[in-house]
Structure 1
Amino acid sequence: MGLLGLFVGLGLLVLFAFRGWSVLLLAPLAALVAALFGGEPLLANLTQVFMVNAAGFLAQFFPIFLLGAVFGKLMDDSGAVTSVAAFMAKRLGERRVILAVVLAGALVTYGGVSLFVAFFVIVPMARSLFRAAAIPRRLIPAAIVLGTSTFTMSALPGTPSIQNAIPMPFFGTTPFAAPGLGIVASLIMLGTGLWWLHRAEATARRVGEGYGHDVEDVTERAAADELVRERATTAREFDPAEMQHGHRSGEPPPALSAVLPLVVVVAVNLVMSLVVLPRLDVSYLAEQRFGGTSLAAVAGVWSVAVALAAAIVTTIALNWARLPALRRTMDAGANASVLPAFSVASLVGFGAVIASLPAFALVREWVLAIEGGPLVSLAVATNILAALTGSASGGLTIALDALGQTYVGLAARTGIDLALMHRVAVIGSGTLDILPHNGAVVSLLAICGLTHRDSYLDIVMVGIVTSLLALVAVIALGSALGSF
């Protein structure tokens, strides 16, 4: 009965989340159903397992949600994201439209701008470019996914995405874990994704398919759609409803000023991770009032948090005149972080209850028995959980909460570098999460005014297939050569 309860609880979570029910309600309910089937005490599982682990996730990662959302909103309202997108369109757009859209998305998200902020700015630009070049508009979502939701989320060294931050406390790694393998994976994702999109463009031109019938701008309506919102907030770290708040500048900044805060994120993250923090005397962290922890457990989060804070200050300083409603902008950014953070924390609480049930031992044994070694089993675990939850961050945290210490022990026994474990886990979480019920996919299609039937095949090819190819390559190279 216990094992049946695991599947019933997970099934309820997936089914009703796909229908747009709030994860804040679904996750504890599904966890209690699983505990009930297993004959476990309900209230103890709710308050001592679910809530404690959800709160632990917030304690570790809420600063990144908060600072990332505030930074994204400042970049949006100052016009900096628009300026970056326009710069890429001007430099590449006339002859390399698809590349311009992909690189515009990649630049802003690698620089720390929240995914949904990028969506709302880049979609109108992409429509204009694709229309002028007579490229089918059904390819717009795939081009944006390739630039925003693949290599800049999971592979590029130092990416400030929440997915790249989650393994750091478990493995004691930095945002730059396995940089060489991350670059190889990024090139595979970008190269194969662009190959597919250009192939699709060439096929469309051969059969005479043009841009197609355009639709009205549904951007604002998509942002206010409650169904889109509920699905989106488990997928990434920004609440789309807050896009309508604040005050957008009517005059975007020069391209150099717009790019500088993005450079600050990467540069400060690098310096903090590799230079500043390793030289600090942080022995005080062992004291009980600081949680009896170590630098390895907090350094990654500290690096990303300081980088985002520095970028926020830089954005305000460069765009003071373009932010006349600074308090409203920052309030909107702060508010935009709350629902996503609590939604993912609820998924983490659900996973903690599932992992604490006696029946989960069977699942753990099955995962660890997968042929190919710890790297393969870790990749399978993160893939499956990200697919079921429709959330890379939720699935990754559930997997590491349940199995993280087990994999640390396996790495020590088998001589696997934890940085390699980190990179495999992150890339693994960013593959099958892009299934039809993924909040980012649903939101992007709504913003574009398209359906799954129109665009989902191309999203699969550039989002799932390219990431799986990169994951296989990283596991193969890491197994043969180690982490680099």
Structure 2
Amino acid sequence: MSINELVSLIGILAALGLLMYLIMRGINIFVIAFISSAIVAITGGIPIYDAMKTDFVGGFVGFFQANYLIFLTGVLMGKMMEVTNGAKAIAKLIVKALGKEKALISIPLSCAILAYGGVSVFVCSFAVFPIALEVFREADLPRRFIPAALTFGCSTFAMVAPGAPQIHNAIPSSALGVTYMAGTSVGFISCGFMFLLGSVLLFRLVKKAQTDGEHFIAKDVDTFHEEAKLPNPFIALIPLLITIVLINAPLKDGKPLVQLETGVFIGAVLVWLLLNKYQQNKELLFHVGEGCKTAIVSISNTCAVVAFGSVVKSALAFQVVIDAMIDIPGPDLVGVAVGTTVIAGVCGSASGALGIAAPLLGPIYIAKGVAAEAISRTMSISSAALDSLPHNGYIVTVTNGLCNETHKDAYRPIFWVTVFTPLVGSVVCVILFTLFPTWP
């Protein structure tokens, strides 16, 4: 490694550290992305103007163009599930079915079902949080574990599972030319393992806290009230099931019969048609408008970290880092997993990492003879690990904004279920693909 490349590497690490620190301090993500990108450009041999005009803005706009409709339809689906109380009905069904003894795991399961059905992870968390508050109070579980329960169900095993109508399947699918069900057997086994491991860890962490004398303590902002009349949860599940079936229908000429955005949009329309009578404000255009605004804010935050990643990609040290990952000893998929999750850590975003890693690393490993299906599933699963570091926008929003908890109190359990658990799941994924490369 040359001196210039070493300086570039130090600049990337310093920019990433600053990114995490400033986000933890609540600084606007767009300001942070510009500052961090400037550091990478100065140390990485990129003219500042070119870094901002070409790399930063190019990465921002490119990700927006490629993925806005996916964000928009996911938010619209979630908005319809929210205003019709469909999401709450499904969550209530799961809580009731599992009972008080398993109340803790009912929250991640509720989020997971919604996420696997195509609902935006942000919307899942906001829809299930009021129920989580009630469940934790009744079961006397420490309140600071609510963020971990929500994020575990939304941003790990469910969003990266085969067939899920989420962007984490859409990006590698599009880049590598495979279906959303790519790596079906290994994918479901790995995601099932993540669910079991994360559940065990969550139960143990809560049990230890209770043994140490912790109880549920409500905050001043908490409100508890009886829910309005909820729809039949089984009817509420119908749009989610139809969405999953539509986007995973048999292929024709190598292309899906229904694109992801179309399938999720159809699901949102079905929610409105089936559950409309259960919500009070029936101003459809108002809800659609709110969904459009939410989608723009959500994707713009992700675009900012993708733009930072695009500047990093042009720095002198980036190719050195990529070469080091490709040359990692062992199965080729180890490099795929490590490369994807490291980029996710840099970006603070799973979808942002996939937007960079899939077109960059995918062709390299396909040329080495690795099956595209295995690459796609490995990338999806491994993207869900280091993306959940403290600076991740979703983690910050749920922990601080929604749950009114601090990182000091709530992040440790979040780390174990959203970083450590997917890391182990990625290892399981790589091992299974290596041992059983012919599994469907």
Q: Same fold (TM over 0.5)?
A: yes
Structure 1 match to 2:169: 164
Cα separation, partners in 2 of 1:192 and 1:12, compared to 1, 3 Å:
closer
- Read off the aligned partner of 1:362 and give its amino acid letter: V
Residue among 400, 416, 432 paired with 1:461: 416
Select the residue among 93, 96, 107 that pairs with 2:99: 93
Distance in 1 between residues matched to 2:232 and 2:366, nearest whole Å = 48
User: Contact 1:93–1:129 (CA<8 Å) still a contact in 2?
Assistant: no
**1:250–1:131: structure 2 CA closer, same or farther, 3 Å change rule?**
closer
Return the offset for 1:304.
1.3
In structure 1, runs of 5+ residues without a counterpart are 220-248, 281-294
Residues paired across the two proteins, number: 428
Aligned to 1:30: 36
Residues 218 and 448 in structure 1, CA contact (< 8 A), matched pair in contact too: no
In the alignment, which of 379, 393, 396 is matched to residue 425 of structure 1?
379
1:203 is displaced (CA, Å) by 4.2
Q: Which residue of 2 aligns with 1:222?
A: none
Structure 1 residue 77 displacement after superposition: 0.9
Rate the CA distance shift 1:319–1:45 in 2: closer, same or farther, 3 A. Answer: same
More off after superposition, 171-180 vs 382-391: 382-391
Matches for 1:120-199 after TM superposition, within 5 Å: 120-154=126-160, 156-199=161-204
Alignment match, 1:217: 221
Tell whether the 8 Å contact from 1:14 to 1:388 is kept in structure 2 after alignment: no
1:334 Cα offset (Å): 0.9
Q: Kindly indicate whether residue 293 of structure 2 is the aligned counterpart of residue 335 of structure 1.
A: yes
Q: How far is the alpha carbon of 1:326 from its aligned partner? A: 0.9
CA distance in 2, matches of 1:38, 1:195: 43
Contact 2:77 2:119 in 1 (8 A): yes
> Residues of 1 paired with 2:98 and 2:18: CA distance?
46
Counterpart amino acid of 1:363?
A: V
The offset of 1:425, in angstroms, is: 1.0
Contact 1:111 1:159 in 2 (8 A): yes
**Given residue 142 of structure 1, which amino acid in structure 2 is its aligned partner?**
A
Identity %: 30
Q: Which amino acid aligns with 2:397?
A: S
Provide the rounded CA distance (Å) in 2 between the counterparts of 1:378 and 1:279: 29
**Correspondent of 1:67 among 41, 62, 73:** 73
SS in 2 for 1:30: helix
Separation in 2, partners of 1:105, 1:369: 38
**1: CA distance between counterparts of 2:384 and 2:5?**
29
The alignment partner of 2:248 has SS state of helix
Q: CA deviation at 1:2?
A: 5.3
Q: Is the 8 A contact 1:30 1:350 kept in 2?
A: yes
Structure 1 pair 381/257, CA: closer, same or farther in 2 (3 Å)? same
Q: Report the counterpart of residue 235 of structure 1 in structure 2.
A: none
Query: What is the alpha-carbon distance in structure 1 between the residues aligned to residue 342 and residue 399 of structure 2?
Result: 24
Which one-letter code corresponds to 1:76 in the other structure? E
Q: What secondary structure does 2:66 align onto?
A: helix
Q: Provide closer, same or farther for how the CA distance between residues 313 and 203 of structure 1 changes in structure 2, counting only shifts above 3 A.
A: same
Q: Using the alignment, how far apart are the partners of 1:358 and 1:349 within structure 2?
A: 17
Q: Where does residue 333 of structure 2 map in the other structure?
A: 375
* Distance in 2 (alpha carbons) for counterparts of 1:357 and 1:456: 31
TM-score, reference length from structure 1: 0.81
State the partner residue of 1:444.
Answer: 398
What RMSD, in angstroms, separates the aligned Cα atoms of the two structures? 2.6
Q: Cα–Cα, structure 1 residues 328 and 181, in superposed 2: closer, same or farther, change >3 Å?
A: same
Structure 1 segment 3-402 matched on structure 2, within 5 A = 3-5=6-8, 6-7=11-12, 8-154=14-160, 156-203=161-208, 207=211, 209=213, 211-217=215-221, 250-271=228-249, 275=250, 278-280=251-253, 303-321=259-277, 322=279, 324-401=282-359
How far apart are residue 134 of structure 1 and its match? 2.7
Match 1:473 to one of 418, 424, 428: 428
Following TM superposition, by how much is the alpha carbon of 1:476 offset from its aligned partner in structure 2, in angstroms?
Answer: 0.6
Distance in 2 (alpha carbons) for counterparts of 1:312 and 1:384: 34
Q: Secondary structure at the match of 1:34?
A: helix
